[in-house]
Structure 1
Amino acid sequence: MINQVTLVGRLTKEPELKWTTEDRAVLNLTIALNRFRKNKRVDNDADFIQCVIWGKRAEATAEFCSKGQLVGVIGELQSRQYLNKEEQKVYITEVLVHQIRYLSSRGKGENVVNISHEEDE
C-alpha cells in the first residue's frame, strides 16, 4: 500500500509548539492550498489541510516558520477520532509530516531551509 502526500502551501497562523506529558514536542499546522481547475487558479478558493509534526522536526519548524510562509511537506495521511465535550464522535484526517521544506524566508537574507529528522520516526 502507498500512503504518501506531497503539498506546497502557506501557513495560516503562527506555529505554536506544545509538549506532551511524556515531554515530546508536537506542532499542529494548517496549510492553505489554492485550488486549480483546468490549469487555472480559482480566486478565493482554497483548501485548508491539517498537519502534525513531532519531535525535533516540530521544534525546528516552530523556530524557522511563521504565518504566511510558503512550505512544502511530505508525509502520510492519518485519521483519528475522539469524543468532544458533548460526547459526540469527531473524526480528523491530517498529514503526519516526515519532511518539511521552508520555501520562502521570514526576512531578508534568509535562505531556504530543509528539515528532515529521520530519528523522530
Structure 2
Amino acid sequence: MLNRVILIGRLTRDPELRYTANGVAVTTFTLAVDRNYVNQQGERGTDFIRVTTWRKLAETCANHLGKGRLIAVEGRLQTRSYETQDGQKRTATDVVADDVRFLDWPKDGQAKKDSGFSDIGAEVDLPEEDLPF
C-alpha cells in the first residue's frame, strides 16, 4: 500500500507552533495549491490544504516560514474525525509532512524572526516510532 502526497503552494498565514503535553513540537499551516485547469471564466481554482509537521521539522517551519512563502511538501494523507460544539460529527483530511522544501527566499532577504537561517531547503527525517497519534 502507498500513501504519499507531494504539493507545491504558498502558505496562507504564518505557521502555528505548539507543544504536546510530552514536549513534542507540532506545527500546522494551510497551503494554497492552484489547480491545473481554468474554469469557464478563465480563472484557476485553488485548494486550501492543512499541513502538520512534527518535532524538529515543526520548529524549523515555525522559525523560517511565513505567510506567502512558496514551499514543497511531501508526506502522507491522514483522516481524522471530530465532533463540533453543536454535536455534529465531521471528518477532515490533513497532510502529515515529513519533508518541507523552501522554494523561495523571504521577501526582505532575511529568514523569519531574524534567525540567520541561510539554507534554501529544510529536510528532516522523522522516525515512525513515538508519533503521538
Q: Give your verdict on TM over 0.5.
A: yes
Q: Supply the distance in 1 between the matched residues of 2:83 and 2:71 (Cα, whole angstroms).
A: 32
Cα distance in 2 for partners of 1:58, 1:111 equals 16
Q: Distance in 2 between matches of 1:11 and 1:117?
A: 22
Structure 2, unaligned runs of 5 or more: 111-117
The alignment of Structure 1 onto Structure 2 pairs a total of residues equal to: 118
Structure-to-structure mapping, 1:8-23, within 5 angstroms: 8-23=8-23
> What value does the CA root-mean-square deviation take over the aligned residues?
1.9
TM-score by length of 2: 0.80
Please give the residue correspondences for 1:22-41 in structure 2 after superposition, counting only pairs within 5 Å: 22-37=22-37
The verdict on how the C-alpha distance between 1:17 and 1:120 changes in structure 2, with shifts beyond 3 A counting, is farther
Q: Which residue of structure 2 lines up, in the alignment, with residue 115 of structure 1? A: 123
Which consecutive residues of structure 1, in runs of 5 or more, have no partner in the other structure?
A: none
Quote the sequence identity (%).
35
| Distance in 1 separating the partners of 2:76 and 2:97 | 7
Correspondence 1:77-96 to 2 at 5 A: 77-96=77-96
Residues 71, 120 of structure 1: alpha-carbon distance in 2 compared, 3 angstrom cutoff: farther
Q: Scaled by the length of structure 1, what TM-score is found? A: 0.87
CA deviation string 1:3-49 (max 9, x = no partner): 000000000001120111221111111100111228xxx53521111
* TM-fit CA distance, 1:83: 1.4
